[in-house]
Every structure is written in structure tokens, then in C-alpha cells.
Structure 1
Amino acid sequence: MKEEGFGDKVRRLREERGWTREQFCDEEQDLTVRQLTRIELGISKPTLTKIFFIAHRLGLSLFEVMPDYIDLPDQYLKLKYDILRTPTYDQLDLIERRNAKLLEIYDHFYDMLPDIERLAIDALQSTIDVLETQSDIFGKDIIETYIPRIVWKQKYDVNDLLIIHLFIEHTYLSRMTKCSASRRMFLKLVSELPRQVVVMEPEELFVLRNVIFAAIRVLGAKGICEPIPTLFQGIHHIMQITQDFQKYPIFSMLQWKYELLVHRDVQRAYSYCEEAIIFAKLMGNQHLMGQLHDQWRIDTLDT
């Protein structure tokens, strides 16, 4: 039996949904009917951008529809999710372990990965570089190419979230004027994050949680406070679903910052501070306890 090619697969999935080529291409801004015809007939090879659009229209992840779809190596997935799951809290030993895992991915797996997974790893590395250098020179091409497409998706996958996180860190460093396109795009993505809690797989929710944390940090820094309570609810919902409370001290810290910034309620803020330190103590993380004490002193210096 002849193996189904990419074009054949796209045509089959399109026809299963009852769409003509004209309906599939919609306004033809991202993919023309002529281009789709050539792709389905195997005459032309689609670019990653075209594959991204096709996957979105079919309601599939990029990885599922990629022409070089392969099972990802278990060790690669373990390394990727270890990096995503384990916070460093600015501790040198944890940072070194994370960097060693990233290096292992680049040395042993990167060249054999599908393009979308390479993109995800590049986005992850770029986010780390932006955070460590406080420079937005890293990952600009990823943001410019993929954020305008992700912003219209109804459901995000893990790799989408990695690109969104990179965009959020760029937003933190930008001036982002009130009427700018980047501000509108940022706020649209932020408003969508809590809705993803009920559509993502439970084992992937920790990635969404981390992205929401990053979004709250940027909103606070930019003085855009209206979306924050809904994001808090999203984090709380994730913790209830996953029963994973390792980031609870950070959650409490963000809540105390919100109370100080928005409500000027030092007493309520301090109750969140105590909560954060208690959880850090229960986790046995002395380093984090010290960071929380220092942050509270900084935040209340002028109160």
C-alpha cells in the first residue's frame, strides 16, 4: 500500500471536514487556492509558515501534520519537560543543570527533530537568553513570524506557549505605547490564557501556569492591572487540577504585589507574604525563603 504523503493527508483531512479548497483557504491571505492545489498534488513543498496555517485550519498541532512526522525520542521529551518543569529561582546549581540539559538536546537530538520542535527549543533558548541578558535581540524572527498566527488560535499547544512566553519577555523590555499593535496583541494573548486551562491536557498545564506567571509580571510592570485577577483565577484553577503547588510561594508573592500596587492594602499583602514564606519553608527551600524576605523589604520600603 502506498504511503500517504503530506499533500494526500491534507486533502483527505480537508475533505473529511467537508471543505472545498476555496473554503479552506478562506480569504487567501495565508494560503491561496493555487498553492493548496499544488501542495495537495505534491507539486510543491510547503514552507513551515504554510504548514502552520494548514495545521491551524485542520485543528491539529504542527507536529501532528508535519510531513516529517516522527515519534519524538523519549529522552528528548524527558529533557525538554525537565527544563520546563524545574524552576531555578536564580540558584547557580539549578541554572547549570538546566543549561546542561539544553546542551544535551542541541548535541544529541536537535538535528533529528522536526522543524516545529527545533522552533520550540530555539524559542526556549531565546527566552532564557532574553531573561539573562535583559536584551530583546534574541528570538525576534520567531516572534515576528509566529505570534501573528498564534494570536488567532483557539487552542494552544506547549510549543505555542513557548513562543508566547518569548513574546511576553520581549514585551517586558519594550516601551509598548497605549495604541501600539504589540500591546493589542499582548493583551489579546493574555486574555486567552485562562481559557486554555480547560482545553489543555492536565500534564501540560504547568507550562501554561508558567506563562501566566510571566504575563502577570509584565502586566504589573506596565501598570495594566485589570486582567490580573482573572489570571490569578487561572493559576488557582491549574493548581487545583494538577495538585502541583511547587510554585505556590511565587503565586502568593504576586498576590501581595497586586495588593500593594492596586489596593494599597499592606495588611492583606503581608498575609500573602507569610503564606509564601510558609510554603517555601514546607518545600525546604531556604534560598527561596531568603528571596521572599528580601522582596518584601523592597516592596514595602516606602510604605
Structure 2
Amino acid sequence: MKWEDQRSSDNIEDRRDQSGVTPRLGLGGGRLGLGTVLVVLAVGWFMGISPLTLLQMLSEGGEAVPVAAPETRTPASSADDRSARFVSVVLADTEDVWRSIFASSGGQYRDPHLVLFRGSTSTACGQGQSAMGPFYCPADQKVYIDLGFYDVLKTQLGAPGDFAQAYVIAHEVGHHVQHLLGISQKLDEARGRVSQAQYNALSVRLELQADCLAGVWAHHADRSRHILEQGDVASAMNAAARIGDDALQKSAGGAVVPERFTHGSSAQRQRWFATGLEAGTVRACDTFNARSL
């Protein structure tokens, strides 16, 4: 992915030098992000806890066991600094794309802020922890990421590559777009009126739409700035496959249970990212009225 000569975003908040302890895996009032299932899987492996148990706790708003984090911080490494620069460039590119898309329909895009942190940090959705992976908090309209997540993405889940990492950020920004359009609010309103299985099904459609919106960003970014290099699309498709609910359930050693899906299967995630990448329009990402996912 071509990114090193592109502008950085002014909407970065760096909290990596702040100390903190990660008390729990639960986010409280926040939504599960794309990276949540990835890091929970790794935590389950490290702690000997079923990842499906942790995922179920998170999806139902429960709390998991405490996970200790260092109380002191080491200076940022050169790799961290490069990753921070990369995230800032990707965020800036999403700003350019979504400002243009909103303006073309007579709207105005409000940039989200992106918070870099280590261990844990306070958010308007409750206490955020690195064990959750990247996530979006609609209450403060910020994306949160601990850069250590990218090591998990590469080494634990086998999804390396700059564009796979960009896909993660673009997905979370997709949740911000959903918030601005009032889509995520409708899902929140339905939480108390439907069963858990029905809510999970709606959550799948929301997450697949965010995948599609990530593809919309990539479509316009490549058309305007030619960011894609050989293998980039395959890298993102590989990441989408690795974090499909069916793939994670199989990796956890259990049976595939579609009723427990909250993000969609590998094939669904790949399909909707590809849909956004090919079409380049928000209209193409209407997963809620799609007859087939």
C-alpha cells in the first residue's frame, strides 16, 4: 500500500505515554469493534479460556476475568512510531474520501478523532482496554486503538500487510459513518425489543455494512491517489476471512453456530468488502435490505 508520502491527520490524540491498568475485557456501553474478536481469541489462547466464552460475554454486555496490564510504560519504539504515522495517514485518507462523498449528496462529514493508547484508557462509552482491539465509541465519536493489536493481527491470526491494517481502521471509521447517518442508533433502539438471536442478526448486518463502507473508502482512495499495490486487496480479503465468525468458532475448537454470529461469516465479510470496493457507493452497502448476505 502506498502511503508514506501522504498527509497525516490532525485528529490524532496520543495517550500512549499515560499509565494505566487494564481491569476487564468488557467495554460497558460501547460496541464491539472489528478487532475485538481478534484479540479476544488471542486472550483466550493465552489464558486458557474459551474464546467463545469471552466473545459471548462481550456480545451480551457482560464482563470477563481481569487481565493485568503493565503499570508503567516503555518509550515508543520506532516500529510504534511508524505504525502511528501509518494510522494517521489512513485516517487522513478516510477524511478526504468521506468529506467528498458527504458533500456530493449535500451533507457535511464530521471527522472522527482517533486515540492511540496502551493498556487502558477512558472513553465516553466506559473504560476501553487493549484486549478489545480497535473500536469505535459513538458517544464521543472517537476510534480507539492500541498499536500492539497489529502484532496480534499479523502473528496470531495470520493477517499481515499494510492494507489489512488499513482495512481495520476503515472499518471502524465505517461505524462512524453509520453513526452520522443514524443507522447505528436504530440498532441500539432495537436492543430491548428483540431477542438476543434477533439482535445478533441485526449486528451482523451492521458489521457487514461497515466492511462494505471500508471497501467504499478503498475504492475512492485508489481512484484518487492510487494507493493499492499488488497483493493489497488479497491482504484485506485474507483479514476478512480470518475474522469471520465461523472461522473464529472453528479456531476455538467448537461447532459453527450461526445464531451466535455478531460480525458475519468469512465469506460474508469478504463479499461485502468487495462490494464496496467495486461499487464505491453507500447505496451498494444496504445490508439491512439485502435478501442475501
TM-score range, shorter chain: under 0.3
User: How high is the TM-score relative to the length of structure 2?
Assistant: 0.26
Which structure has greater strand proportion? 2
> With CA pairs under 8 Å and 6+ residues apart, which has the higher RCO, 1 or 2?
2
